[in-house]
Amino acid sequence: MDELKVYFNGVMVPGSEARVSVFDHGFLYGDGIFEGIRAYEGRVFKLAEHLDRLYDSAKSILLEIPYTKEELSEAVCATVRANNLQDAYIRLVVSRGKGDLGLDPNKCPVPSVIIIADRIALYPEELYLNGLQLASVSTRRPATDVLNPSIKSLNYLNNILAKIEANLRGLPEVVLLNHQGYVVEGTGDNIFIVKNGELLTPPVYAGILNGITRQCVMELARDMGIPCREQNLTLHDLYNADECFLTGTAAEIVPAVGCDGRVIGDGMVGPITKQTLEAFKRYSRSTGVPVYDKNVATA
């Protein structure tokens, strides 16, 4: 297979030549931000929304991205093109850049901007058909006044600690609670439950990443006439839900059929989950910023 081409501070370079300094504060401190984006069939899905979230994260950490959204949008498309990809997982990283061993960001004058586009490794089809088992873990999501989970920061140690708990239990994904004991999200996905025909998901203020897939699912549900609300959820709500699923760019929509040994609903993937999954599949493959053909409609 040909070596991947990586966008690195305005130039496309072979992957092996894309090197970040050991003095980059993204490496030393996790000081930076990122986005995980998908392309389906040659179109980048929700690119504007991902760029908006990236710039919001940047603003919160006082990091000035040295490109406009239009320039980065073109750079994302150029990276997919350079690698001749149709379906891709795209990682857009802006780290604080090279500084010294102190943590002062003022010592880092030039951010590092990196875009990697690669083939997407899909989860086993079995998970989507039969649903996964979840567990709640002891790792808590940080409070919004500690390190706001709405900032998509390069520091994913909190999520990794939860992932380690998942690995120790042999589970693909787990749910994290916040310090009030409310269910907030997975290590890399948002969570929805269905109760009495209604879709419920934790509010952003509970301390979650406001997922692009989450927002898309909420819109699709409303279009399909399925009532959808943000509401704080407890483990009791999750155990007694009729249905449950997780949403994220990489995972898309994954049904969950059990948590902490409790069977969710009847233990099968439910009708609203199936309907939402189908609607998302259709929608995601019929919209997006075209990478190759400029005449295709954008969204």
Residue closer to ligand PMP, measured from CB, 57 or 112: 57
- Contact pattern for ligand PMP over residues 229 through 268, marking x by CB under 6 A: ------------------xxx-------------------
Dist CA 137 CA 288 (whole Å): 36
> Site for ligand PMP (CB under 6 A): which residue of 185, 218, 244, 265?
185
Distances from the Cα of 57 to the Cα of 35, 135, 210, angstroms: 10, 29, 11
* Whole-angstrom distance, CA of residue 164 vs CA of residue 211: 22
For the window 197-216, what string marks contact with ligand PMP as x by the rule CB under 6 A? ------------x-xxxx--
Number of residues this chain uses to bind ligand PMP (CB under 6 A): 14
Does 114 contact ligand PMP by CB under 6 A?
A: no
Instruction: Output 96 or 214, the one with its CB closest to ligand PMP.
Output: 214
Instruction: Kindly state the smallest distance separating residue 173's Cβ from ligand PMP, in Å.
Output: 11
Instruction: Specify the length of the chain in residues.
Output: 299
Residues 165, 137 contacting (CB under 8 angstroms): yes
Distance CA 193, CA 146 (A): 27
In this complex, which beta carbon is closest to ligand PMP, that of residue 108 or of residue 187? Answer: 187
- The secondary structure of 46-59 as a DSSP string is THHHHHHHHHHHHH
- Contact between 172 and ligand PMP by CB under 6 A: the answer reads no
List of residues 6+ apart from 292 with CB closer than 8 A:
42, 81
Over the window 31 to 70, marking each residue x when it contacts ligand PMP by CB under 6 A and - when it does not, the resulting string is -----x----------------------------------
In the chain, DSSP assigns E strands to 5-8, 11-14, 32-40, 43-44, 88-95, 112-118, 132-134, 136-140, 175-177, 183-185, 190-195, 198-201, 228-230, 243-248, 252-259, 262-263, 289-290
Active site residue 59: no
Alpha carbon distance 130, 124 (integer Å): 11
**Minimum separation from the CB atom of position 118 to ligand PMP (A):** 16
Instruction: Based on the shown chain and the rule CB under 6 A, indicate whether residue 140 belongs to the binding site for ligand PMP.
Output: no
**Residue 276 in contact with ligand PMP, rule: CB under 6 A:** no
**189 interacts with ligand PMP by CB under 6 A:** yes
- Shortest approach of ligand PMP to residue 27 CB, angstroms? 19
Interaction of residue 188 with ligand PMP, rule CB under 6 A: yes
Encoded tokens for 27:
């490496």
Amino acid at 121: A
Q: Find the shortest distance in angstroms from Cβ 13 to ligand PMP.
A: 26
- Which of 5, 280 has the CB closer to ligand PMP? 280
Q: Take residue 192 and report the two structure tokens written for it.
A: 């929805």
Q: Which of 5, 46, 98, 152 is catalytic?
A: 152
Cβ neighbours, 10 Å, residue 13? 14
Residues that bind ligand PMP (CB under 6 A): 36, 159, 185, 188-190, 209, 211-214, 247-249
The catalytic site residues sit at 152
